[in-house]
Amino acid sequence: MTDLVACLSSGEKSWGHVARLIKEQDWKNIFLITNEFGKSNFKAEKKVEFVVVDFQKPVFELIEDIKKGLRGKISDLEVALNIVSGSGKEHMAILSALLKLGVGVRLMAVTKEGIREL
């Protein structure tokens, strides 16, 4: 099983996609990069770990906060990554943090055929 890292931004319309991704696949660990609003309001059917950040911070500070939140917790050399939720700045920060931690990524999405790697 692979760890899942997903962006869970303020736009709640994309939360259904993230919820299905969590529900329909077995993941070793699930890390949701979100803010306080996301942590307080997102309800997952499985155990998740929230990495709470301030998306309003400059991108370099955001990268460091994400790295700090994930350091030592990822169980393998690569993760499944979903960035359907969020903005380009948030996506760049998450991707940069993962690469700086030395982790490879596989982009994953929910499709009509189920969970698929892109």
- Which tens digit of pLDDT belongs to each residue from 37-92? 999 999 999 999 999 999 999 999 999 999 999 999 999 999 999 999 999 999 99
Tell me the pLDDT band of 10, cut-offs 50, 70 and 90. Answer: confident
| Whole-angstrom distance, CA of residue 59 vs CA of residue 37 | 19
pLDDT at 28: 98
CATH code (residue 90) = 3.40.50.20
pLDDT at 11 over 80: no
Nearest one of 1, 9, 10, 13 to 33, comparing CA atoms:
9
Q: How far apart are CA 25 and CA 18, in angstroms?
A: 11
Query: Which residue range(s) make up the domain with 111?
Result: 3-117
Total domain count, the chain: 1
Q: How far apart are CA 89 and CA 92, in angstroms?
A: 5
pTM comes to 0.95
Whole-number mean pLDDT of the chain?
96
